Amino acid sequence: MLCNLNAPRTFKFFQNLLRSGFNMINTLLGTKKNMTSTYDSRSRRVGATVVEIAPNWVTQINPNSVQLGYGTKKSVKKPQIGHAKAAGLDQKIRWFREVEKNGEDLKPGTEIKLEQVFSIGDSVKVTGTSKGKGFQGGVRRWGFHGGPKTHGQSDRHRAPGSIGSGTTPGRVYKGKKMAGHMGNVKSSAKNLEVVSLDKEKNLLTIKGAVPGSTGGLVMVTKRGRIKGYTPPPEEKPEEEIEELPTPEATAPEGGEENAN
């Protein structure tokens, strides 16, 4: 019996294919628009986030990844303009990000649209930069409960408390939860459901909240399908309703004379 030395790598390859739905790429760049409310597949009213995913452009091919370009800006730096021209693009690309690829059919300058990667019922991961909160105390930053509220405790309500023992170890351990800068870091929200997709306006509605501020860059990655998802019925095109004839039009000519 032959032994396949690359079995773990092969398993990971097919696992990625299943997650991505056999697409060449499973991640696109977009911008967070606003939050709204909608209804999921079980007719439950849920909060949702609208993400605009305009066409992404392939700007560079690497051995294990693809560089995508997204968004335009009136003025960008000269290296960005030259990098886009090398891929055959005339647009002034604002953002460049590398994502994982699953095939070899992509070429620089290829346009990738929203509906080529995502569909209603997909499970996605959204990665962005969280909102900056500035310098915050331990209660807000880490959820500390604070000190006693009574028995003469006048200034201990939001105090952090002890930060270590005495002579041993004689220092504060690294990573100790204390007051400090909060937010403005890379964060991800996983296992979110795609509840609607608008091809004409390039809008993707995702159930729940996603990190980042309005207008911020986000990376949406397809991870598979929602377990037990039941797609809603397809909307039928509106049919023209024929006007029914009025009683006056159906009455025989002559009216009362014919009746006599």
Amino acid identity at 59: T
Looking at the structure, tell me whether residues 126 and 191 fall in a common domain.
yes
Instruction: Please check the confidence at residue 123 and state whether its pLDDT lies above 90.
Output: yes
* Residue 239 domain flag: no
Looking at the structure, tell me whether residues 64 and 93 fall in a common domain.
yes
Mean pLDDT is lowest, of 16-20, 31-35, 107-111, for: 16-20
Looking at the structure, tell me whether residues 192 and 103 fall in a common domain.
no
Smallest CA-to-CA distance from 120 within 237, 17, 234 is with: 234
Please write the tens of the pLDDT for every residue from 130-185. 999 999 999 999 999 999 999 999 999 999 999 999 999 999 999 999 999 999 99
Q: Which two tokens stand for residue 141?
A: 């930053």
Dihedral-angle region of residue 93 (phi above 0 means left; psi in -120 to 50 means alpha; beta otherwise): beta
Task: Quickly tell me which residue has 């009683």 as its tokens.
Answer: 247
- Give the pairing of strands 65-72 and 45-52: unpaired
Looking at the structure, tell me whether residues 103 and 197 fall in a common domain.
no
Number of domains in the chain: 2
Question: Is the Cα dihedral 28, 29, 33, 35 positive or negative?
Answer: positive
Residue-range definition of the domain harbouring residue 122? 28-55+117-132+183-232
* Residue 35 domain flag: yes
Cβ distance 152 to 195 under 8 Å? no
Name every residue whose Cβ is closer than 8 Å to that of residue 18 and which is 6 or more positions away in sequence.
224
Q: How many CA atoms lie within 13 A of 169 on its CB side?
A: 6
Please write the tens of the pLDDT for every residue from 64-116. 899 999 999 899 999 999 999 999 998 899 999 999 987 667 889 999 999 99
Q: Categorize the per-residue pLDDT at 58 as very low, low, confident or very high, splitting at 50, 70 and 90.
A: very high
Cβ distance 218 to 141 under 8 Å? no
Task: Quickly tell me which residue has 């009025």 as its tokens.
Answer: 246
**CATH number of the domain where residue 128 is located:** 2.40.30.10
d(CA 10, CA 257): 91
Q: Within 10 A of 207 (CB to CB), how many other CB atoms are there?
A: 21
Task: Quickly tell me which residue has 């690309």 as its tokens.
Answer: 93
pLDDT at 8: 53
Looking at the structure, tell me whether residues 105 and 203 fall in a common domain.
no
**CATH number of the domain where residue 91 is located:** 3.30.160.810
Instruction: Please check the confidence at residue 260 and state whether its pLDDT lies above 70.
Output: no
Q: Alpha helix locations (H) across the chain?
A: 7-20, 78-86, 138-142, 247-250, 256-259
